[in-house]
Amino acid sequence: MFTDILTIWSDSPGLSLAIWLVISITLLYAGRPHAHQLLRSTGRAIYGSFRVASSSIRQLEQRVINRNRDVLLAAGREQAEKAIERDFNRVNAIVERDLSQYPGLHRKLAETLEKIENDYHECTGNAPLPPAWSELMDTIASLPGSGDPAVQNILDNIKDVVENSHEETLKAYQQDTNERHKILKAMQPEWRTLNGTMKKVEQTITGLEDRSRTIDRQMAEYESMRKAEDRAVNALTSSSLTQFFIASLVLVIAAFGGIINFHLIALPMSEMVGGASYIGAVRTSDIAALVIIMVEITMGLFLLEALQITRLFPVISSMDDRMRKRMAIAAFTILVIFASIEASLAYMRDLLALDREALTQSLAGTAVAEAQFRWIPSIGQLMLGFILPFALAFVGIPLESFIHSLRTVLGLVALAGLRALRLALRLVGGMASHLSRMLISLYDLFIMVPLSIERMVRYRRETAPQAIAEAAEQREPEQAPEQKEATPKARAARPARTKRPGKEPETYQTDDMPLTTGEV
């Protein structure tokens, strides 16, 4: 077909091809302005449309940025409010627990102090031993003996009386001192009590001080979030991404736990619901095992929700405390029942596996071996079946973090996608513009022969009047000065006259597709 068309003019392919070439060049030359117009307008249209699309996406991107910022700040504010509320509750608990007893403590302190004061007064109330007794004793001892036995006897009696009195006084003094020592000894526990009470007060006050510092810090962060500062947004974004990755990791671990749990109960479930029935392409026993695991996870979620550890269901959070407590008990009971069922199923799985193994061995014709310590994996499976539901019940905590952080991550992913799309649109627009210019140049390259001829003809047309004018100037040197003066003007005006409007398309060859006002 192609050969037939090629050789339509002549049997010689070369000649025929040359004729086709000439025809096509002629046709392309004739349609050059329209072809240029088409290529240029197409390129400009694609470029403009993509620019418009890009700017629309930029607006959308800005909206997504604002939305992300709002979401982050709202989540951060909520979190900060919760943290501050929790700290205030702790402060309240400290005040209620410790400072509510402060009047009693104060009374105790006052009583202790009063007692100590009384004891102190009691210690200092008795007069010490008068010093005159010793002088009197010395005076009596130094009296000279007169030799009279009666006098001597009297003096001895006086001396004895004085000595007795001195001894009694000394004894009374010593007794009094002992009593004071006893009182001071009894004051020792009171001092210790006082010291302990004061330490307790100090600890309470210090704890309150630490807590108040924490609250101050959180309030500063909260203030920063309220002002929507970039610092707070960046911190929240980073925290959210960290939460997302940690929660994802924990959820993956939980998923593996769920798979193990599934395999633990899938086989024995076929004893309960039948191993030959299918729902679609999946065994009913498998679906039943999955349902049990899902119900366990759901009960775990409800339990955590009722204990207010997670806040996924506002309905549960808004219940009164009594109702939530009942719900927590119900969820925990169901969880325990399911864990017990799973434990029994896991044990049954072990028995079934053992039976199957024995059957396989007997079918293979080998003797059934009695495995030692077979009870260890049996007990292990039993315990695993009981523990795994409780472990899976805690999946609510990472799930909540995952869901909350997912909003931020999805926002960031959407932002990245929009940016990539905008970049792609701009690139494609630019390439379309460049391609149209390239095609125009290629077009002209293909028809360069007629274009060169056209250029030559135009040049001759432009240069011929100038040559005639110059010749006329040489022939008429005697022309009037005013006419001579007018000649440069005419020269200057001539090129302007020779520029015909029809030659304007020359400009677009150098035109680098300027943007319109709208595009700019």
Per CB under 8 A, residues contacting other proteins are: 267, 270-271, 274-281, 352, 355-356, 359-360, 362-365
The helix (run of H) or strand (run of E) holding residue 278 is: strand 278-279
Nearer to other proteins, 8 or 359 (CB): 359
Characterize 123-138 residue by residue with b for buried, 16 or more Cβ atoms within 10 angstroms of its Cβ, and e for exposed: beeeeeeeeeeeeeee
Cα 196–chain centre separation: 45
Residues 6+ apart with CB under 8 A from 205: none
Q: How far is the CB of 280 from other proteins (least distance, A)?
A: 5
Helix 13-30 / helix 32-97 crossing angle, nearest 10 deg: 70
Nearer to other proteins, 132 or 363 (CB): 363
Nearer to other proteins, 8 or 291 (CB): 291
Nearer to other proteins, 135 or 355 (CB): 355
Q: How far is the CB of 389 from other proteins (least distance, A)?
A: 23
Strands 282-283 and 278-279, by their bridges, are: antiparallel
Q: How far is the CB of 288 from other proteins (least distance, A)?
A: 13
Q: How far is the CB of 353 from other proteins (least distance, A)?
A: 10
Nearer to other proteins, 56 or 360 (CB): 360
DSSP 3-state of 279: strand
Nearer to other proteins, 353 or 421 (CB): 353
Nearer to other proteins, 196 or 274 (CB): 274
DSSP 3-state of 8: coil
Q: How far is the CB of 382 from other proteins (least distance, A)?
A: 18
| Region of residue 308 (phi > 0: left; psi between -120 and 50: alpha; otherwise: beta) | left
Q: How far is the CB of 357 from other proteins (least distance, A)?
A: 10
The residue among 222, 226, 224 whose CA lies nearest residue 214 is 222
Q: How far is the CB of 355 from other proteins (least distance, A)?
A: 5
DSSP 3-state of 283: strand
Q: How far is the CB of 276 from other proteins (least distance, A)?
A: 2
The residue among 3, 10, 26 whose CA lies nearest residue 446 is 26
Residues 6+ apart with CB under 8 A from 419: 61
Q: How far is the CB of 343 from other proteins (least distance, A)?
A: 18
DSSP 3-state of 282: strand
Q: How far is the CB of 317 from other proteins (least distance, A)?
A: 23
Distance CA 411, CA 241 (A): 11
Distance CA 292, CA 300 (A): 12
Q: CA-CA distances (angstroms) from residue 263 to 121, 376, 449, 468, 481?
A: 83, 19, 81, 105, 115
Distance CA 328, CA 314 (A): 15
Residues 6+ apart with CB under 8 A from 447: 25, 28, 29, 32
Give the number of C-alpha atoms closer than 13 A to the C-alpha of residue 426, restricted to the C-beta side: 12
